[in-house]
């Protein structure tokens, strides 16, 4: 008798410039995130690869975190977008990607995470508050970019600033 075991074929790693286009498609498909230019994703995957992460399965991008260290506070990681493909939602992939990103040796000195989220972005809210709980650290949610900042032609909901930390990132 043969036993068939579920094999985890998901690869989590640093992206490279050639992933930019795939990421653009992933963000487009999620439908809930702001779609930026392909160029911006290529740049993130190249210049900011130490703080970005791609999750790939069978050569397809199924998850992505774009993030960078704030220039004014380099120990704060600003997480720009967390994207999880529809087929992977509800499986904890966001959390797994975030943990993996923080566990990189080059990110060991990161003490805070910031992200802006729309009022209805419950997935991201759950992800970051889950991290705060796991790390036993403080968090706050404050107003950041009101809707009036965005042009009328591309109506946009307000962005709230979610801050998690300080924490010790030594896992
Ligand atoms: C954490 C996250 O995914 N924030 C989204 C920020 C913004 N609405 C965007 O870039 O889509």
Q: What is the mean pLDDT of residues 68-74?
A: 98
The alpha carbon of 81 and the centre of ligand 1 are apart by a number of angstroms equal to 4
**pLDDT tens digit string along 137-169?**
999 999 999 999 999 877 899 999 999 999 997
> 4 versus 47: which is more confidently predicted?
47
Q: Do 68 and 48 touch, CB atoms closer than 8 A?
A: yes
Half-sphere exposure of 127 (CA within 13 A, CB side): 27
Our answer on whether the CB atom of 158 is closer than 6 Å to any ligand 1 atom is: no
Pocket test for ligand 1, best of 23, 30, 52, 81 (most atoms within 8 A of CB): 81
Please report, for residues 52, 131, 146, 169, the alpha-carbon distance to residue 106 in angstroms, rounded to integers and kept in the order given: 12, 19, 34, 11
Say whether pLDDT at 110 is over 70.
Answer: yes
CA–centroid distance, 48 to ligand 1, in Å, is: 17
pLDDT in tens, 54-68: 999 999 999 999 999
pLDDT at 4 over 70: no
User: What pLDDT is attached to residue 39?
Assistant: 98
Please provide residue 157's backbone torsions phi and psi, each rounded to the nearest 5 degrees: -75, 160
pLDDT for res 153: 78
Is ligand 1 within 6 A of the CB of residue 34? yes
Angle of CA points 47, 99, 116, to nearest 5°: 65
pLDDT of residue 152: 84
Can you tell me the distance from the alpha carbon of 62 to that of 19, in angstroms, rounded to the nearest whole number?
12
Phi/psi for 69 (5° steps) reads -75, 135
């Amino acid at each position: 008798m043969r036993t068939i075991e579920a094999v985890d074929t998901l690869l989590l790693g640093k992206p490279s410039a050639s992933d930019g286009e795939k990421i653009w498609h992933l963000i487009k498909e999620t439908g809930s995130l702001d779609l930026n230019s392909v160029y911006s994703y290529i740049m993130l995957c190249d210049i900011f690869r130490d703080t970005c992460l791609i999750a790939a399965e069978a050569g397809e991008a199924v998850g992505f975190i774009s993030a960078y260290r704030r220039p004014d506070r380099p120990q704060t990681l600003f997480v720009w977008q967390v994207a999880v493909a529809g087929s992977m939602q509800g499986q904890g992939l966001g959390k797994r990607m975030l943990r993996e990103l923080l566990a990189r040796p080059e990110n060991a000195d990161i003490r805070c995470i910031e992200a802006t989220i729309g009022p209805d972005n419950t997935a991201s809210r759950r992800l970051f508050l889950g991290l705060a709980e796991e790390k036993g650290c403080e968090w706050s949610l404050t107003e950041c970019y009101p809707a009036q900042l965005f042009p009328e032609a591309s109506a946009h909901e307000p962005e709230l600033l979610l801050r998690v930390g300080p924490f010790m990132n030594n896992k």
